[in-house]
Every structure is written in C-alpha cells, then in structure tokens.
C-alpha cells in the first residue's frame, strides 16, 4: 500500500507532455442511421459489426467497399454490445429487453435467450476459450455465463450492492475479470464459485469502467472517476497507478490492447475525444491522437489480423485506428516507475 501511495503521489505531481508526432492513423466513416453506433467487433470474414443502441439495429460494415448494411431488431431492445462467433453468428446484448440475441446474417432472423428473473439488462459480452459467453448486467448487479451450445445460463451475484458490473475480459487462465463501475473494486469468478469475488482498489474514489488483460495476467483498468490507469497483478496482489495525460478529470473510457502490448485509451472529458497510447512493457505513455468527430468513444475492439482497432463514436460514426511506427518508442515524459 505504501508503495502504491508513493507512486500515486509522484504521478500526481508530474506533468506528462505528449509528443506532436502522430501515433495513430484514424479513419472515420459516417453512419447514416445515427442511433448511437457503438461496440464494433470484427467477424471472421473481416466485416465489422456494431450496435445502433438508440436506433434498435445491428449493422455490418465492409471495409473494402466502405458499405453498410442494416439489420433491424425489435423496438425497445437497445442493443448495447455484440460479439461474433466463428460461424459468423452475431450475439448481442438486448440491454433494455432482458435477453441475449443471436442474429443470423444470412436471413436476418433472430433467436432470443431470455434472462432469468431479476436480470434485466445484459450489458457487455465476451467469449471464453470454449466459445461460451460471459457477460455483465450492470444494474442487475450480476455476472452471467451462457453456454452457447445449449443456452444454459449461470448467474453470479456481486456481493457489493449497486456495484454496477461493466467492462469484462477473459484472462489467460480463462477466468473472467470485471470492472465494477459503482465502487472501487474489480471482480472475478473463480472456478466452482457461486458468486463474484471482489478485489478492492487502493483509492476509495476510484471507479473502474473498462479493462484489458496482458499475456502475463496483469489486469489493466481505467479509473473513470479519478483519471488513472491502474494495473493489478493477481499473483502478487500488487497495484500500480499512472495519472492519465489529461489529468484527474480526463474520464478514460474505451480501451484496446494491441498485439505489441500497448494500451489505447479514450479520454472523454473533451470533445472531440483524444486517444492516448501506453506501452505496458516500458510503462510509459507514448503519445495521443484526436478523434475528428464529436461524441464519446465508449468501447474498442482490436483486430489482430489487420493490427488495428475499431470503435464507435456515439454522435454517428464508426472508426478504425492503426498504430504508426512512431508508437513503438516512448513519447511522454513521466515519473512512472
């Protein structure tokens, strides 16, 4: 704890200066239907799927032809997030309709998997190593597991009331980790457990929103409330923290982890948003790039095949960002350890 507090004090007193050189090539594509385009995911055929949360649609974008195709879903669904399996089926969170849906791109048909009583708002989905799905339900205060073969559901309550399970990712050991936005905690589900196990972050005011997990099992989360990047190492139970270049009010939100173990983080306190890079190997910020369109970058997805990440801009755009060669070297003066 003393080490963490000392590191935090050093970081709070430091000023990070981002370089002027570009670190990302960003391409933005206007979405004609608006409706809060968000949470893109790259399918096996390299098409990019995303949700129209306010517009009650899913959509497919072809990067080669720059064309969009819309798939309407039932009114009142408000899809929050989607993922695509190896067969090309699209699994989506019916955030206000209490179901997880499966859309078949061949004919647009939808199957619904109803949530059990008390679970009303599936939020963010992720595949595990078996191809099954773990998901969060923010205001229901639970984490769920969905068997994609037989559609059996398991629900794991979060002990802290109103903890708001939000972002979720799978660790190399096939264990889910969850950002609990309503409190200063992370969560995980141990094998054989019947509820979420909580891990308390050192700063009481921290509010983790999204997270990424590196190959060594380290959990990297963004503290939306106090503007920090936080690392938790489960094996040693050690925390480290870095003040975001935008400061305590930067509101870090969407994140992506690229194939070179670099984190890309959207600072959403200003419009347009700014995307900041952080090298987890050198533990240094490496530069930033401003998004052109106004709106908030809520969620990102890294495509390892094309080595670029995708994100929605909720004012009405889909975007891709590819790191440049300049992003391989440290570009920020920082007192981080």
Domains contained in the chain, CATH given: 2-18+45-259 (2.130.10.10)
Would you say the pTM of this structure is higher than 0.85? Answer: yes
Residues 123-178 pLDDT 10s? 999 999 999 999 999 999 999 999 999 999 999 999 999 999 999 999 999 999 99
At residue 22, the pLDDT reads: 65
Cβ neighbourhood burial of 214 (10 Å; 0-12, 13-18, 19+): middle
Are 136 and 178 within 8 A, CB to CB?
Answer: yes
Cβ neighbour number for residue 290 with a 10 Å cutoff: 13
Strand partners, 288: 276
How far is the C-alpha of 232 from the C-alpha of 230, rounded, in Å? 7
Strand partners, 188: 177, 197
Q: Where are the alpha helices (DSSP H) in the chain?
A: 2-13
At residue 3, the pLDDT reads: 43
At residue 332, the pLDDT reads: 39
How far is the C-alpha of 282 from the C-alpha of 275, rounded, in Å? 19
3-state secondary structure of 87: coil
Residues 289-329 pLDDT 10s? 999 999 999 999 999 999 999 999 999 999 999 999 644 44
At residue 222, the pLDDT reads: 99
How far is the C-alpha of 245 from the C-alpha of 263, rounded, in Å? 14
Low-confidence ranges of the chain (pLDDT < 70): 1-22, 325-337
């Amino acid at each position: 704890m003393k080490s963490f507090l000392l590191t935090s004090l050093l970081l709070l007193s430091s000023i990070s200066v981002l370089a002027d050189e570009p670190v990302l090539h960003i391409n933005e594509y206007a979405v004609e239907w608006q409706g809060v385009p968000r949470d893109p995911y790259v399918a096996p055929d390299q098409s990019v799927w995303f949700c129209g949360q306010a517009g009650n649609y899913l959509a497919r974008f072809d990067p080669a032809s720059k064309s969009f195709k819309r798939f309407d879903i039932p009114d009142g669904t408000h899809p929050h997030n989607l993922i695509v399996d190896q067969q090309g089926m699209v699994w989506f969170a019916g955030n206000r309709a209490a179901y997880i849906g499966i859309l078949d791109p061949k004919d647009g048909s939808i199957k619904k998997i109803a949530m059990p009583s008390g679970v009303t708002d599936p939020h963010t989905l992720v595949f595990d190593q078996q191809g099954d799905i773990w998901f969060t339900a923010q205001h229901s205060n639970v984490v769920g597991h969905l068997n994609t073969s037989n559609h059996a559901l398991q629900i794991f309550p979060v002990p802290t009331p109103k903890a708001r399970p939000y972002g979720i990712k799978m660790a190399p050991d096939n264990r889910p980790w969850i950002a609990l936005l309503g409190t200063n905690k992370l969560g995980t589900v141990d094998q054989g457990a019947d509820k979420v196990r909580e891990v308390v972050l050192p700063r009481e005011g921290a509010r983790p929103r999204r997270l990424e997990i590196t190959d060594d099992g380290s959990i990297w989360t963004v503290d939306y409330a106090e503007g920090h990047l936080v690392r938790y190492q489960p094996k040693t139970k050690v925390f480290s923290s870095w003040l975001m270049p935008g400061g305590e009010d930067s509101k870090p939100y969407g994140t992506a982890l690229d194939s070179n173990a670099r984190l890309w983080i959207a600072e959403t306190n200003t419009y347009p948003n700014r995307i900041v890079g952080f090298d987890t190997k050198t533990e240094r910020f490496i530069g930033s790039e401003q998004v052109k369109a106004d709106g908030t970058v809520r969620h990102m997805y890294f495509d390892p095949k094309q080595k670029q990440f995708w994100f929605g801009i909720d004012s009405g755009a889909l975007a891709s960002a590819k790191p440049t060669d300049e992003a391989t070297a440290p570009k920020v003066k920082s007192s981080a350890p």
